[in-house]
Every structure is written in C-alpha cells, then in structure tokens.
Structure 1
Amino acid sequence: MDSRRDFLQKLAASAVTLPFLPITASAARNAFYGQSCQGPVLRVAIMGLGSYGTRVAKAMQSCKRAKLTGLISGTPSKIKDWQAKYNIPEKNCYNYENYDQIKDNPDIDAVYVITPNALHREGVLRVAAAGKHAICEKPMSVNARQGQEMVDACRKAGVKLLVGYRMHFEPNTLEIVRMRNEGEFGKVLFFQGLSGFRIGDPKQWRLNRELAGGGAMMDIGIYSVNGARYMTGEEPEWVTAQETKTDPVKFREGVDETIQFQMGFPSGAVASCLSTYNMNNLDRFFLNGEKGYAELQPATGYGPIKGRTNKGELTHPHIAHQTIQMDEMAGIILENKKPVIPVNGEEAVKDLVIIDAIYEACRTGKRQALSL
C-alpha cells in the first residue's frame, strides 16, 4: 500500500511542473485524485476547519476541477479527523504558525481562507507571500482599507485573489441576470433585499466585534449589499441607513443587530434592504422593472434556491453551491475564465466600501456618497 501511495504521489508531482499542462500530463495528474476530467485540477488547502469549512470540503468531493489536498488548522484533532476522512497526507497539513511553508509544497495551488473575518487579511497576505492563489470567504475583510491591502498584496505577488461569492454561480440567480441583461424586465426601478435570522449562542465569534468586525451586516447583510449590485447591474451612488438595537446585552457596542439601508443608482433605481440577527424567515430578493419582475425566496441560503419571474417559475436543478463555486474558480485560476458576475478581490472591496458607508450613515444619520 505504501509503495502504491508513493508511486501515485510521484506521478502527481511529475505532472505539475508546468502551470498549463498538456492533456497527457493532466490525465496523469487527475489519476492521482481518482477523477477523470479534462484539463488541470486546482489543488486546494482549506484554512479553518469549522462548520463552513466542513461544508466546502464535503461539496468538493463532487467537484471535477478542484480537489482538497491540504489542511490548515490550529486544532490538531480536527486535522487528524480530516486526514482520515479526505485522505490528506501529513506533509500537506499545517498549523497557523507554520503554514508559510506551503510555498515549498507543489501539492497546493490555492488556499481557501475560512477563518473569522478579522483573520482574513493576515491569512491572505501570508498565502500571497507564499506564492499561492487565495480564495477568501466573505466579507473579505472588516473594512475597505484592509480589503484593498489584500488586493494589492496578491497583485504584487502575481497570484489571484477570489472571494467566496457562491451565489454568483447559482443557476437561478444567473438566469435572472441574463434576463435583465437582455432587457426582459425593461428599465430596472427597484430592488428589495431581506437578509436575516435569529442568531443563537451569544458567545460565538460572530457576536465578537474584534473577530467579526461588526454584527449582522458583516455576516448576512452583505448578501443584500452584494445582491443589490448584481441584480440591478449597477453600482450605487449613495446610501442611507438606520440601526435598531433591542438587545444591547447580546448585541454589544459595535455589533449591529438590525440595520435598514437604502441605496440609489445612476439610472434612478433604488434599493431598500434589511440586515438582521433578530428575525427569522428573511431571505428574499425582489427586482422590479417597467416590463416585469423577478423574485428569489430563498435567495441566498444553501438551497435549493427558488424563484419566479413574470414569465413563470425558475426551474434550474439544485447542485451544492460550493461544488459549482469551486469548479468555476478552478477555471478562473487555471484558465483565466471570466465569470458572469465577478468574484475577485476588487469586487469584494466594493462591498466593503458600501458597508463602511452604511455604518457611517448609521452613526451620523446622514446620506453617504459612494464612488465605486
């Protein structure tokens, strides 16, 4: 068994000496993963083996173009469990002190950073310094300034920075974007985004300002911020916002409970959105145009996403969002594919600029001008 494993590892290593491989080398490389597919496979290490990292790893088992090949965690027991489950060799496992050593590991092309928000910046900067592509969970950082630092570092290192906007690849969402682009709704007039749920354990990191960078807006409200942009196809020119807090014990200073926010777009379209950690059953997008409408409900959950337009129900079958996301990101990284809706770091900085402005609007009570 050991000799067979060694042979396969050597076979895989010999197949990755060039960034763009001929078909014969790709076939050898894919054989290492027990997967038959066209083109090279993106080899990914996951940093942060928590609940969402677990979801991503499970979904990646169905990927054709991306495979889990490395682990980064501060919890040795998690690494052992994941090694056994996903057949990850010891040499591809790291902790938060030594993962800079991935620079010398040809089994890893990219690292998916799935740590608390405030740790994203350091993770991406170190991954870039190691010469590996970075995939970062959203929000990309806790403010736009840090986000831009991450974009600049990856550009300087010559690596790609992508962000985990899984909805940008979701089929029903993309069908609405297609219909809008082709003018089927006419002039867009209005968008509504409702994003919220009642959060549980008050001791979790999402309610810790130092780790989360805020509250509901950073976790769930960002879906409506981002959704307003890709559903209307425009960048907002201004934002206003109002914060409501009913439980200051659970939602301490700097941790937002509920924020209502409004945005205006160059065409005259407006958006009205809600972000909350204190109400359930809020996962809905609605787009209204002069000729028709589109609705998604649920709009951003793990699926299945359900939707309809003035022309009828949306019927695309459900596939795990993270499976589609990681296969599509493999194409972006390895073949420079261009997604319909961007998922790069620059896209994420725009969301952070808007979120910064939403917090400032809450603080001052004044409309904030935007230039994206």
Structure 2
Amino acid sequence: MRKIRVGIIGSGGIAAGHLRAYQAMDNVEIAAAADIVPGKARQFLDEAGLHDATAFEDHRKLLELELDGVSICTPNVSHYGTTIDALQAGKKVLLEKPMSVTLEEAVHMVQVSKDTGLMLSVGFQPRYDPNTKLIRDVVQGGKLGKVYYVEVGGGRRRGMPGGTFIRKELAGAGAMADIGCYSLDFALHALGYPKPLTVSAMTSNYFGSNPAYHAEASRFDVEDFGSAFIRLEGGIVLQFKISWAMHMDTLGASMFLGTDAGLKVTPYGEGPWSGVWDGQVGSMTLFHDMMGQHTHTPIPRIQHSLNVFEEKVKDFVRAIREDEPAPIPAEEILYNQAIIDGILRSAAINKEVDIDLPSHL
C-alpha cells in the first residue's frame, strides 16, 4: 500500500503533536516541514530522526512537492494565507484551530475549499472523546425533547499563555481563539451546528495586562475573559463564557435544557489550568421526571485510553486515503468563527450585533 505523503507547515509546539501522530502510523511519510525562522524546520525534523525529509523557510516551496496533505500549525494570523496557498496548490489540509482571525477570511477559505474540491478539516480533537460523542447522541437523540437553552464555557482560575498567544497581531484574539472555540464547538457540535443569528458580548483583560499576574503584561493586548448571549436558529439561546484567569474556581458546568429533560456536564480535570473544554469530559447527569417526581440519572463515563489528538490526525489520513469528506468540515467551523467574530465586534461597541453569513455556504 502506497504511503500517504504529508508536510507540516509551522514547527512550534502544536506541530510536534502532529509529527508524533504521523510517525505513529506505518502508512504515512513525513516528507517535509516549513518554518519562517531560519533553521527551525531543519532542527524540528532532525530531532525527530527525519533526516531525509526536506526543510523549507518558505511554505510555498514545500507546497511544490508531491504531497497528499499538509498540517498547518502556524500562528493564527497566518492560518488564512497558508491555507489558501495549500488548497490552491492542490493539497488537502488539516488546519489547527482557530480557523482564522476574521469571519471574512473563514468565508473565503470555505469557498476555496469548495472551488478546488479539496478537504479542509479543522483541528477540534475533543470530538474524538467517546463521552463527547455520547453527549451528542443524547442531545440529538430526542431524549431532551426540544432544546431551547444551552450554557457552555470553561474557565481557568489562572492559565494564561504567553508568546504569540497574547499578541493581537499574531493571534487575532486571546482566550476566544485559544480555548473559547473549543467550548463553542462542544456545544454547537452537540446541537448539530445551528446557524448563529445575533451576539451580545463583553470582553476584558484585567489580568493579562496587569504585571502582578502576567510577566508579559506590557505586550498583552488580547482578551483574557469574555461572555456572550448568542441566538441560534431553531429558537435556541446559547450562553457562553470563557476565562484564562479569574478569582473563581470554576465558571460552572455546561447544561442543555430541553422540554423533556436537561443534561448537565462538567469539564474534566483539576488545577489552575483545567476547567475548559479542550480535553476530556467529566461527570454527566440527566435531570428528568419519573412518575410525576423530579429525579436525576448519572450517565456512566466511558473509560478509554484514546489519545484524541492522535485520533484527529489519524482521521485526516483516513479521509485522504479513502477520498472522504473532511472529518471536521470547515463549513461547520465557519459558524464557530462567525460567533467569535461577533463576540469581538459586539464587545467593541457594547451592543448586540447581527451575524451575516453568505447564503450559498
């Protein structure tokens, strides 16, 4: 069986996860890597023992190779341009989250994917947790009745990154782009990704911009907290909240309220960097009535040893080999990006904003 040839664009921390996942598969060859920092891609490959793979400083040179697909692991601000270049060069793409910096970029990325007929999959590995799949089955299986209200969002008591994550010129946004998109995907994927209509939001960065809390406070110009009230198609309201830092242990559990039952879900883990939907699921409880009485039923958590990050990369390779659609289609994540875009626009003007999406996408 012919090996799938892939390239990795960007060689930072997240790229190492892609590399390890590809190396764990016998049917994949990592042919090349690219990074704009001189020598960084070569070091990245050599440290992994990939001495025969080619290193580039210009990702466009990498895209001239015969490759089946590429992982894009660059800073957020370059997701758009690199993805467009890859699709137009005939490459299938696994793009790290967030999808883009602006809604306009995301719309164009989806359009180019459609025009070229090439897969654009976006990296939301928490979907591969069996418990996340179970939650989606419960929500979409009718057990809750009509779902009319959803509350979601994680909060780290103190978990602010640094470097490229905190500079708007490189990241586009802060907590929204880093962990907020995971929370949104958790809720929207469970609901079947209904179209967002309006957003009313606020954001702040009281902690990141304070030297008492962050060593790079002078360069911190993105949000470390945000909250939003989002109206979705189908008469659903989504209450969203996210935090990199706060004086609180948690922003609470997520919940799906339906006309027949409600589902409460807690995030997994403990400690100042936990409490967000970028990993496993904690407890799950169904609240319902039985024989005219209030009751609740704990849903047993599925125990597993899956590395969900590796599963994401494996699924991308499988879709390439079997010529299948994107495992996590950009058409869905477009709605995720539209909400983040709406949150930032609403927070900037302190008013509710409409979300306008092209009707043909």
What is the TM-score normalised by the length of structure 2? 0.80
The equivalent position to 1:257 in structure 2, one of 214, 218, 224, is 224
Question: 1:66 and 1:301 mapped to 2: Cα distance?
Answer: 30
Q: Hey, what does 1:208 align to over in structure 2?
A: 167
Residue matched to 1:317: 304
Match of 2:86 among 107, 117, 127: 127
The whole-number CA distance in structure 2 between the counterparts of 1:88 and 1:348 is 33
Aligned to 1:278: 245
Is 1:45 aligned to residue 14 of structure 2? no
Instruction: Flag the 1:336–1:196 CA change in 2: closer, same or farther, 3 A.
Output: farther
1:92 to 54, 72, 79: 54
Which residues of 2 match residues 9-20 of structure 1 at below 5 A? none
Q: Which runs of structure 2 are paired with 1:158-177 in the superposition (5 Å)?
A: 158-177=117-136
- Aligned equivalent of 1:73: 35
Q: Which has the higher strand share?
A: 2
Greater Cα offset, 271-280 or 251-260: 251-260
Q: Tell me the SS of whatever aligns to 1:57.
A: helix
1:112: Cα distance to partner?
0.8
Q: Is the 8 A contact 1:303 1:318 kept in 2?
A: no
Task: Report the number of matched residues.
Answer: 328
Matched, 1:359 2:319: no
User: Which has the higher mean CA deviation after the structures are superposed, 258-267 or 327-336?
Assistant: 327-336
**Contact 2:182–2:278 under 8 Å retained in 1:** no
Distance in 2 between the 1:200 and 1:229 partners?
25
- How large is the RMSD of aligned CA atoms in angstroms? 2.8
CA deviation profile, 1:192-226 (whole Å, cap 9, x unmatched): 22233334465x11111100112211111112222
Aligned to 2:190: 231
Map 1:290-301 to 2 at 5 A: 290-298=260-268
In structure 1, the residue matched to 2:19 is 57
Moved more, 223-232 or 251-260: 251-260
Distance 1:282 1:65 in 2: 43
CA-CA distance at 1:144 after TM superposition:
0.9
Asked if the contact 1:243–1:362 (Cα under 8 Å) also holds between the matched residues in 2, the reply is: yes
The DSSP-based 3-state class of the residue aligned with 1:196 is coil
Distance 1:294 1:144, change over 3 A: same
- The amino acid that maps onto 2:229 is Q
Distance 1:67 1:321, change over 3 A: farther
Unmatched tracts of structure 2, length 5 or more: 211-216, 269-274, 287-296
- SS of corresponding position for 2:255: strand
Matched-pair identity in % = 24
- In structure 2, the partner of 1:192 is 151
User: What CA deviation, in whole Å up to 9, does each residue of 1:2-47 have, x standing for no partner?
Assistant: xxxxxxxxxxxxxxxxxxxxxxxx2xx2xxxxxxxxxxx5432221
Cα 1:284–1:49 change in 2 (3 A) is farther
2:98 paired with 1:139: yes
Shift of 1:85: 4.5
Give the equivalent residue in structure 2 for 1:308. Answer: 284
Is the aligned partner of 1:287 residue 2:274? no
**Cα deviation code 1:47-93 (max 9, x no counterpart):** 11111111232233434665544222234554344434444344532
With over 3 angstroms needed to count, the CA separation of the structure-2 counterparts of 1:161 and 1:329, relative to structure 1, is same
Hey, what does 2:315 align to over in structure 1? 328
Query: 2: CA distance between counterparts of 1:189 and 1:113?
Result: 36
Compared CA separation, residues 320 and 327, structure 1 to 2 (3 A): same
The residue type equivalent to 2:93 in the other structure is A
Q: Is the 8 A contact 2:255 2:262 kept in 1?
A: no
Q: Distance in 1 between matches of 2:150 and 2:117?
A: 37
2:256 and 2:264 in contact (8 A); partners too: yes
Aligned residue in 2 for 1:38? none
Contact 2:126 2:279 in 1 (8 A): no
Tell me the TM-score normalized by structure 1: 0.78
Quick check: 1:302–1:320 contact (8 Å CA) kept in 2? Answer: no
